[in-house]
Amino acid sequence: MARALADEEDALAVGDWVLAAPDAHGELWVHARLDPQTHLVRRDADGRRHPVVSNVDTALLVMGLDTDFNPRRMERFLALVQGSGVAPVIVLTKADTVADARTLFCRMQELRERLPAGAEIVAIDARDAEAAASLAHHTLPGRTIALLGTSGAGKSTLTNTLLGRTLQDTGAVRESDGRGQHTTTARSLFSLPGVPA
């Protein structure tokens, strides 16, 4: 079934709900996918569809306040989420690296000018437990959030902070250009502590 869906450019995504049944050896086989309530799809330049994630309530669009900062790129991430029923939240990491409050304010303003009015923007140090507190209104029981952003933005760091333990590898950004090194290229789903699965 996974192959048939992939051929239709409708491959299974992380977060999909499926019906599965065990075979004679007790191995689970997927028989059907439930229609996702929300679904994010990325399109290639040539129009090919790439499913990103299904059934999330909120997308944290993660961008660093270091050399990763790029309002136009954030516009593209927002476009990916728009119309999907997934609520976007812009999460600016590496707030601790910004020299002063004025610089932070200017960056937030620069971003606001490009975004729909009322878009939620949070600036955090993704390594600090305070970051989990700033996002607590999104990590409620029964809710699913996705973290999207370029390599090096701080997704794995924030995931570990939200989880309260180190489950995702993080990678230092290259000094030469501040780019990430694609430490994690797979997608995965975690259950937060204190929230019933």
Ligand X SMILES: Nc1nc2c(ncn2[C@@H]2O[C@H](COP(=O)(O)OP(=O)(O)O)[C@@H](O)[C@H]2O)c(=O)[nH]1
Where on the chain is the footprint of Mg ion (CB under 5 A)?
156, 183-184
Assess 146 for contact with ligand X (CB under 6 A): no
Assess 125 for contact with ligand X (CB under 6 A): yes
Residues linked to residue 147 through DSSP beta bridges, in sequence order? 60
Report, in Å, the least distance between residue 136 CB and ligand X.
17
Choosing from 151, 163, 179, 192, the residue that interacts with ligand X (CB under 6 A) is 151
> Would you say 85 and 41 are in contact if contact means Cβ atoms under 8 Å apart?
no
Give CA 58 to chain center in angstroms: 9
Which token pair is 47?
């129009």
Assess 74 for contact with ligand X (CB under 6 A): no
> Would you say 173 and 179 are in contact if contact means Cβ atoms under 8 Å apart?
yes
Please state, in angstroms and rounded to a whole number, the distance separating the CA atoms of residues 161 and 147: 13
Binding to ligand X (CB under 6 A) within 11-40 occurs at none
Nearer to ligand X, 61 or 86 (CB): 61
Query: Binds 68, which of Mg ion, ligand X, none (CB < 5 to 8 A, cut-off by type)?
Result: none
Closest CA relative to residue 132, chosen from 104, 108, 156, 163:
163
Report, in Å, the least distance between residue 98 CB and ligand X.
10
Binding to ligand X (CB under 6 A) within 80-109 occurs at 93-94, 96-97
Q: Which helix H or strand E contains 152, and what residues bound it?
A: none
Report, in Å, the least distance between residue 59 CB and ligand X.
14
